[in-house]
Every structure is written in structure tokens, then in C-alpha cells.
Amino acid sequence: MIFTKTRRAAERVFTGVNRYLTKVLRLVVNLEKSRIVPVDGVEFLGFVFRGVTGMIHVSEKNVQKCKRRIRELTGRSRGISMTQRLGELRRYLQGWAGYFALAKQMRLFEILDQWIRRRLRMCFWKRWRFVRTRVQNLLALGVPRRQAFRHAKSRQGPWHMAKTIASGVGMTNAWLQDQGLVSLKSLWVKRAPLRRTA
């Protein structure tokens, strides 16, 4: 990809590069795949460029692909321990954040973090399938006794309960981190130097 300020400059560069590749390097240029287009909306290797300045974002297709994979890793029907589940999720998130660290979208990483935490709370709630187990675990996590009993007896599904006050107070962000969850936003922040050179 070559960026220029004007279309006229792009046409001039396109001609020059094409001539250099074919005449000097003796390479074959596929003119059907080589084109001059505005930068806004162009996708490349999982990224999409936005605006006239070409701000780097993660393409929507890859955001949805990421969410599908996380759904698989946090699926309620998977018969594996939470330790193994969190280990697989951690490795995937570290790889994903490493590849898409160039994206200048802190809000996207925050939204994905919130969604992932809710899915993990859902997983824990599903594993605590009996009222007694739920009460014991919620009390151990510091949830008030009355609130713990009320939520433990609820007939709402795990996804709904993952967003309740009891789950939020008990299964806090810090507690989930202690269990082995990594934050996409934190990984993104650590890779800030990469974005300054992009």
C-alpha cells in the first residue's frame, strides 16, 4: 500500500512503481488487483482505514470473528475446568491483542473486555448450578447474605445473572483477573509504542 495526498500524485506514483517493478525487477504486476482508491474504507490484513487520514481500525469482520472464537472458548457446554478455559482464553487474547495493537480504538478494546467479563461470570454461575453452592460462593466473595440468597434462588438464566449486582459485587474485575483473565485494554496500552510508529 502506498499513500499519497492527491489522486493525481497517486496516479503518478502508480505509473512509476509499475514501471520499476516490471522493467527493473522484471516482476509481473496484477493490474486487476492494483488500484487507486480513497483511503477511507480500505481493508488490509484484517485492518480497515478510516477517514481521510487513514486511521487504523480493526475490521468489523475480524471483530465478529474474535467474538465467535471467544464464544467457543467460553461456551457453557464445554466440559473443562475454569483454569483450562481461562488459560486458553488468555493465550487467544494475548495473540489477538498483539496482532491488532496498531488499531487506534481503545473504546473497542474496553467494550470487548466488558463482554468477555460477562461471559466468564456466566460460566462461573453455570458451574455453581445448585442454590447452596451459589450462596456459599457469593458469601465467600463478600456479597451480603440477603442478596446472595435472593440471587442464588433466581430462575433467570446464567447470561442474565452474569449482569446482576451480586455477580458484579462478588465476581469483580479484580477477582476475575486473579483467576487468570487478561484485559485486552491493558494489553493494548502496553503496546502503545507500536502505534506511534504506524
Question: Do residues 187 and 194 make contact, with C-beta atoms less than 8 angstroms apart?
Answer: no
Start-to-end CA distance of the chain, whole Å, equals 13
Query: Would you say 184 and 106 are in contact if contact means Cβ atoms under 8 Å apart?
Result: no
d(CA 123, CA 70): 12
3-class secondary structure, 110: helix
Has residue 29 been placed in a domain? no
| pLDDT attached to residue 190 | 85
In which element (H, E) is residue 68 found?
helix 60-73
SS3 48: strand
Domain of 71 in residue numbering reads as 60-197
Within-domain flag for 13: no
36, 11 contact by CB (below 8 A) = yes
pLDDT tens per residue, range 170-198: 899 999 999 999 999 999 888 776 655 55
For residues 130-153, average pLDDT: 92
Q: How many residues belong to the chain?
A: 198
pLDDT of residue 173: 92
Residue 165 lies in a domain: yes
> How many domains is the chain built from?
1
Interval 23-40: pLDDT, tens: 887 877 777 777 766 766
Within-domain flag for 31: no
CA distance 142 to 187: 29
**Could you tell me if residue 139 is inside a domain?**
yes
Split at pLDDT 50, 70, 90, the class of 133 is very high
Mean pLDDT for 47-76 is 88
Condensed to tens digits (0 to 9), the pLDDT of residues 150-164 reads 999 998 888 988 888
- Residue 16 included in any domain: no
Give the rounded distance of the alpha carbon of 188 from its chain centre.
Answer: 10
Can you give the pLDDT at residue 23? Answer: 80
